[in-house]
Chains A and B, each alone.
Chain A
Amino acid sequence: MDNGKRIKVIVSMIGLDGHFTGGQVVSTILRDAGMEVVYLGTYQTPEMIVQAAIQEGVDVIGISSHASNYNLIGELVDLLRKKDMDHILVICGGTIPKQQILKLKEKGVAEIFTPQSTSKSIVNYIVSKVRGANGGPNK
């Protein structure tokens, strides 16, 4: 990955989930940490998110989820794979139950951030994954 650029992240809700507070709070956290955030808002389909990810050339897709059957997050990961875009890191945040966390990780979601996660843990995780474990020149 290009270490000279700012880390670019999509923050989005998916499907019919109309809850946007969590996504807005996390967007601010990531911006404060120096990342470029593309905030897509509500009612995004997997197709719309993947298209935006390609257009914007993002490093990470972050899905904020209030509650769901988590069907569409799996579809998002599959679609990225189909389009050969699975180098883009997919992470999720929200009040996601443990059983679902296991299922989503099996599907290929890199990490799930629950209400237990601190701002720092989210930022550090993204930086270490995008820049590599020992950090890039921007770190």
Chain B
Amino acid sequence: MSNSHLERGHRTLPHTADLRIEAWAPTREACLAESVLALVASFADTIHAEPGSAVTVKIAAQTDQDALVAVLDEVIYLLDTQAAVPVGVEVGAARDGLSVHLQLAPLDGVELIGAVPKAVTLHHLEIARSPQGWCCGVTVDV
């Protein structure tokens, strides 16, 4: 996992079985938001997508790793149950956890450009603070 990037961003890396995403940002919350964008960018081109709805979820997590997994789990859940794809995300601290606000576009309004994520694994799960900010890495089942 690289932590030498400036400001915030994300990328995907090949994995024989599945998909590896990495994200980085100055704060933990921004890093989590960036991980959501990384996950979405792995399978959907949302550039022309219009948000049609929004949802705010509360996440209670004991550790940073739990928070990372829970945020990404939410994306997969929304995809499967509401056929909705996040096109905007804000993560903020909330009492006993995090508040995640997602702007959603319908799945049929985005162009699919990769395999759709189905689960977040604990394999080489990483989230850490560094002098440059926060960075994380996640292996995703597709």
A and B are partners in one complex rather than unrelated chains:
no
Q: Which chain B residues have a beta carbon within 8 Å of chain A's beta carbons?
A: none
